[in-house]
Structure formats: structure tokens, C-alpha cells
Amino acid sequence: MDRLGAAHGMELGFVFDRLETPDAVAMGGPDGPQSLADAMHRAWVSFVVDGDPGWEPWSVRRPVQAFDADGGHIDYAPRQNELDGLPRG
């Protein structure tokens, strides 16, 4: 399990709130955080139903929803330090 890291498809058990399925357990282990599944599933359903996942739209502030075991939070301008290090011109 630990060798997969953030593998493609690992999010599906969280998106569909189906952490107990064999595929979700095989990808992420038996202890996927339910709070993460609750937050991610709620965001996807909200986006499908009314076009709003529950956080502010993209803007010059560059908000990015980060999902984590606590449910998630907004990061503003993530990786700005990496962009600042790129040559300009």
C-alpha cells in the first residue's frame, strides 16, 4: 500500500463515499478517513447539482481546495515560491 502514494484512482472511494468497497480498500487501505470522504463527496454532489462545489471560484487570489484527513481547507496561491524561482523573460 505505502508504495502507491497518491495513485490514480485512489480518490474514487472518497468521491463516491464508498470507502468499504474492495477496490477502495485495496487502493487506500482499510482506514480511509471518513471525514475526507464526507467532504469530497459533498463537494462533488454539490457541483453536479448546482454548479458550486462549496468554495470560492478561481480568482487572482488563486484559491485551491486541498482535501485532507480533516476534511480540507483552502490554500491561496499554492506553490508561489516555486513560481518565484522561475526565470522571467
pLDDT in tens, 34-77: 999 999 999 999 999 999 999 999 898 899 999 888 878 999 98
Q: Highest mean pLDDT: which of 2-6, 11-15, 78-82, 85-89?
A: 11-15
List Cβ neighbours of 21 (8 Å cut-off, separation of 6 or more): 13
Could you state, in order of their start, the residue ranges of all structural domains in the chain?
A: 12-84
**pLDDT of res. 87:** 83
Rounded Cα–Cα distance for residues 10 and 77 (Å): 25
Q: Is the pLDDT confidence value at 21 over 50?
A: yes
Residue 2's nearest CA partner among 38, 27, 24 is: 27
Mean predicted confidence (pLDDT) in 17-29: 92
Amino acid at 32: G
- Average predicted confidence (pLDDT) for the chain: 88
